Structure 1
Amino acid sequence: MESKNHQRGVQLFELGRFQEAITYLTQAVSESVHNYASKYYLALCFFNIQDYDKSSKVLDELLHETPNEGNLFFLKAQIASRRENIYHALQLVNKSIELDPYQADYFGFKGALLMDKKKFEQALHFVNEGLQLDPKNTACLNIRVRLLTKLNRKEEANETVEHILYDNAEDDYAHANVGWVSLENGDTEKALHHFKQALQLNPNMQYAHEGMATALKSKNFLYKWYLKYAFWMSKQSSQNQWIFIIGLYVAYRVGIKLLRASDLTYLVIPLVIVYLIFVLGGWIMESLSNTILLADSYGKYLLTDKEKYSGYAFGGLTLAGILGVVAFFITGNQLFMLLGFTFFCALLPLPGSFLKESKKAQLTGLFYGIAMLCVGIFGTLFTNDVMLVGGIVLGMMVVYTWIFNFIS
């Protein structure tokens, strides 16, 4: 007979009150140390509050007692995925499938992991296997839509979307997922409609919040094209991404030489500006779009605190940079140009630091940006060479792009 503590813990778990459920489930485990069900729900509770260390510890105890339970390996795979260890997550979900090959969710999750590795065809194969086991499995259907969109099989994707919404008209995740697919296909209005539906069903759904914010940002001309570029790049393998970036740089260098050889040197500066916007746009576009949303009477409520800080930092640095350049043209004092240049260079590390996932990346971007500002503002106290100080600031900006790639 199940204990009252276990029953109450499960009730609280189903209500989403995970922290309270942990108290009761812990007591249930203390009553019977071999209580599999209570331990499993306890692991789920820790997983849902993102305490992955405690969840893993409980799962390891369960695996020691019952080493052939596929659902335990499945939960460990999800923890590995949350920790961005995709290779380990794949090993664990493969073990789940080996132990229990009739669970559609396992195949859907494996498809999602392979999609993250940009192995779209292989991922689609496993998702389809999951749908053979359960044709109405929501997870498999949602992942299938995203995969078909990545593979540019839009007609099949639309059919799957209709299938999802027909069977899951009140499913918040289904609406949010259709919203993201619509956004990737360039249909902003349809995306907004489905994100709105998702938020009506679940006002706290972060996936839908992010989608709604992104859809509103895409109404801005610059962000719209950046989003198209970001979606396109997300479909490319890491190798192809590097080939594209290197090819772009080679084309830029060849373009510079051709313009100089053709006495069209006046076009060199515009080409440099276009190249820098294209290359560095990905570093600043999110922060720029957050600044734009801050000025929107409705859009600002979709931003998280971190996104607001990013928007304020970007807006403040941009305004300071413009004022510095204007002051230079009015007074002719090169110090103002140096200040304006420094503020513009700081747009790379500072605003984006608030958006980084890891604490290490956040602190690196924040302190590096502050260091750049200190060099630009106080550098002339140690030397009268304004160009030297400006060169150091520019060099710091370039070096940061390499540091960021390393810590990422």
Structure 2
Amino acid sequence: MASAVDRGITLFELGRYEEAVKQLSENPADFTARYYLMLCFFNLKQYDRAELMTNELLAQDPNQPDIFFIKARIASQRNQDADALSFIDEAISMDPEEADYFGFKAGLLLDKKKYEEALDLANHGLSIDAKNNYCLNLRAQILTKLDRKEEAGETVENILYDNPEDSFSHANVGWVALEHGDHKKAMEHFRMALQLNPNNEYARSGMSTAIKAKNFIFRAHLKYAFWISKQQGKNQWIFIIGIYLVYRLSVKLLGAAGLSVLAVPLIIAYLLFALGSWMIDPISNAILALDKNGKYLLDQNEKFSGIAIFSLVITALIAGSVFYATGIAYLAAIGLASLCTMVPLPSSFLRDGKRSRYFAMIYGSLILLVGLIGPFVVTDIGDVLIAIIFMLVAFTWLDNIVK
């Protein structure tokens, strides 16, 4: 008859982690039972308990590279990159023949945009195990970031040849196709990934993005987003500030030449560029909700973001139309506040960090509040409109600090 530890391991391998915990907890003194308990807690995203067990296991046996690997993964989940690198280096020093360790470190460096170093690590992992799925997928991602499309394509073919029924591989190939600008091919792979694993969040997010990419405006935004994400932080700011300076100089020159009317479309284009990163995803979610297939890909927060921006657009249109028809100044404040709130509020539902999410949500609500209450507090409605615009401009700077 199988022991509680054996039953626990079997349940773990089946992905039934909570049931596995009950079985494994019957033998708290057994090292193997505690090791699998640690893995269960990690997969259940109970990182505090998992970390506590890693420390206990290492106190008992400090020469366990797999446990340092788990510590590195826990640190990575907590965005503690320095600790994650330290722990994975410890694991590699103990077992330099484990390809997954090099793949994991390559992933950390990929996030830091150290593409050449990451590629060397992924290649080293593949020199140990040429069929390592993790290293192959990372290599495809890194080569795409380096614009080495032919090599990325060859790697993608190898991934699918070796893992034709692996959901993660199909999802990863889908994201690579998206970055190459082929949203149709991407949809095929995301669809296959979801058929193989309907709970694959990586594939679900990709399918949602691929459907949005059918819209040429979103496709242009996505191309820009992929490009800017490849740049180092310093280069991103140089580009953004450069765009602003070119915009300011162009408006000034047009004004000096008596062509101020031509500055209007330039101003609109700049505002769309400057504010588009906050608005494009909520707008796309609102559109996606109308797609017969896309609506099933939206999670609750994405639906909220779509509803929020749709509601604000309708409010702004109605308030603006009635204002022009009646001249009631109060409606101008409501219309402008609704337009400006489209930047912070809908995007707040899509943020991962609590601080950033609450900041955008509260800030957007404050803009609306100024539009609704301001006209009753301030005599000159123009001051209210200026305050609303100032709040929007301030948000675009403060948001980058809060993030």
Give the TM-score category using the shorter length: over 0.9
> How far did residue 349 of structure 1 move?
1.3
Matched ranges for 1:238-317 at <5 A: 238-317=233-312
Where structure 2 has 5 or more consecutive residues not aligned to the other structure, the ranges are none
Q: Secondary structure in 2 aligned to 1:165?
A: helix
Count residues in correspondence: 403
- Residues 27-73 of structure 1 show CA distances to partners (whole Å, capped at 9, x for unaligned) of 221xxx2x222112111111111111111111111111111211111
CA distance in structure 2 between the aligned counterparts of 1:387 and 1:98, rounded to whole angstroms: 66
Name the structure 1 match of 2:321.
Answer: 326
> How far did residue 149 of structure 1 move?
0.7
Match of 1:355 among 350, 356, 371: 350
Matched ranges for 1:52-63 at <5 A: 52-63=47-58
Q: CA RMSD in A?
A: 1.2
Name the structure 2 match of 1:195.
Answer: 190
> How far did residue 172 of structure 1 move?
0.6
Where structure 1 has 5 or more consecutive residues not aligned to the other structure, the ranges are none
Name the structure 2 match of 1:111.
Answer: 106
Does residue 156 of structure 1 match 2:147?
no
Matched ranges for 1:9-408 at <5 A: 9-29=8-28, 33=29, 35-408=30-403
Structure 1 letter corresponding to 2:130 = P
CA distance in structure 2 between the aligned counterparts of 1:244 and 1:154, rounded to whole angstroms: 24
Which stretch shifts more, 359-368 or 95-104? 359-368
CA distance in structure 2 between the aligned counterparts of 1:51 and 1:361, rounded to whole angstroms: 23
CA distance in structure 1 between the aligned counterparts of 2:307 and 2:22, rounded to whole angstroms: 41
> How far did residue 97 of structure 1 move?
0.6
> How far did residue 3 of structure 1 move?
7.2
CA distance in structure 1 between the aligned counterparts of 2:39 and 2:390, rounded to whole angstroms: 48
- Residues 355-396 of structure 1 show CA distances to partners (whole Å, capped at 9, x for unaligned) of 111222222222221111111111111112111111111222
Output the TM-score relative to the length of structure 2: 0.98
CA distance in structure 2 between the aligned counterparts of 1:217 and 1:49, rounded to whole angstroms: 31
- Contact kept, 8 Å, 2:100 with 2:135, in 1: the verdict is yes
Q: Secondary structure in 2 aligned to 1:320?
A: helix
- Contact kept, 8 Å, 1:3 with 1:28, in 2: the verdict is no
Moved over 3 A (4+): none
> How far did residue 104 of structure 1 move?
0.2
Q: Secondary structure in 2 aligned to 1:286?
A: helix
Structure 2 letter corresponding to 1:15 = L
Q: Secondary structure in 2 aligned to 1:71?
A: helix
Q: Secondary structure in 1 aligned to 2:342?
A: coil
- Residues 314-371 of structure 1 show CA distances to partners (whole Å, capped at 9, x for unaligned) of 1111111111111111112222222111001001111111111122222222222111
- Contact kept, 8 Å, 2:73 with 2:84, in 1: the verdict is yes
Output the TM-score relative to the length of structure 1: 0.97
CA distance in structure 1 between the aligned counterparts of 2:79 and 2:392, rounded to whole angstroms: 28
- Residues 114-142 of structure 1 show CA distances to partners (whole Å, capped at 9, x for unaligned) of 00000101100000000000000000000
Name the structure 2 match of 1:7.
Answer: 6
Identity rate, percent? 48
- Contact kept, 8 Å, 2:333 with 2:375, in 1: the verdict is no
Structure 1 letter corresponding to 2:70 = L
CA distance in structure 2 between the aligned counterparts of 1:27 and 1:380, rounded to whole angstroms: 67
CA distance in structure 2 between the aligned counterparts of 1:358 and 1:4, rounded to whole angstroms: 43
Structure 1 letter corresponding to 2:36 = Y
Structure 1 letter corresponding to 2:144 = T
Q: Secondary structure in 2 aligned to 1:342?
A: helix
- Contact kept, 8 Å, 1:380 with 1:386, in 2: the verdict is yes
- Residues 276-307 of structure 1 show CA distances to partners (whole Å, capped at 9, x for unaligned) of 11011001111111011011121110000010
